[in-house]
Structure 1
Amino acid sequence: MKHILLVCNAGMSTSMLVTKMLKAAEARNVEATIWAVPVSEVADEVANKNIDAILVGPQVRFMLKEYKENYEPGIKVADINMVDYGTMNGDNVLKTALDLIGG
């Protein structure tokens, strides 16, 4: 089971991306838990949940360095490609996460 956390500003568009990623995971026969939270909830999520990867949305990319410093190497951290985010390409974003965590 892969545990993938998406970080966003408010959560509206990112929740749509989560839905598309879950469909992509199902199509690839990948067992995954994928969810999105705003920046303000990341520390609580990391403290209380098993997370393999954190993907940072373009609107909060400024947090990428901080998350890498605080959570790697235990949790893999990367940003979401802006084009993939803008087009809601759940398959590409899922591939990014899987490549990141080796799955």
Structure 2
Amino acid sequence: MENLKILLCCGAGMSSGFLASNARKVAKKQKLSVSVEARSHSEVAEHLNYIDVLLIGPHYAMELDTFQETAAPYNVKVGVIPQDIYASLDGARLIDLAKSLAEGK
């Protein structure tokens, strides 16, 4: 994948915004062709046409099926950010997770 486009989703986009920022720093440092943005739950649908992977906050795990159904027509892979990655704001592990999803692993 030439440029992996990742969208993070949480309630208001605040927590995921910090995680996205950390992931962007990792991508820049490692010279990865990755873009990471964070948006609130209400904004996700308008971005599906432009992303490869949607990662939702752990508090949305119960809605994973709904997110997957919404994203399927756009061929967007959807996953839940594990609590430990979310709580530690671990940008490197977040990128690894997104890459695995994008590659179908």
Stretches of structure 2 that go unaligned for 5 or more consecutive residues are: none
1:92 aligns with 2:93: yes
Q: Percent identity?
A: 31
Among 8, 33, 37, the alignment partner of 1:35 is 37
Q: Which runs of 4+ in 1 moved over 3 A?
A: none
- Give a deviation string over 1:6-50, Cα, whole Å, max 9, x none: 01001211111001101111232211221111111111112xx41
d(CA) in 1 for partners of 2:16, 2:70 = 23
User: TM-score normalized by structure 1?
Assistant: 0.88
d(CA) in 2 for partners of 1:77, 1:91 = 18
Number of equivalences: 101
User: TM-score normalized by structure 2?
Assistant: 0.87
d(CA) in 2 for partners of 1:56, 1:28 = 24
The correspondence of residues 25-64 of structure 1 with structure 2, limited to 5 A, is 25-46=27-48, 49-64=49-64
Stretches of structure 1 that go unaligned for 5 or more consecutive residues are: none
Moved more, 22-31 or 50-59: 22-31
d(CA) in 2 for partners of 1:94, 1:16 = 14
d(CA) in 2 for partners of 1:45, 1:62 = 21
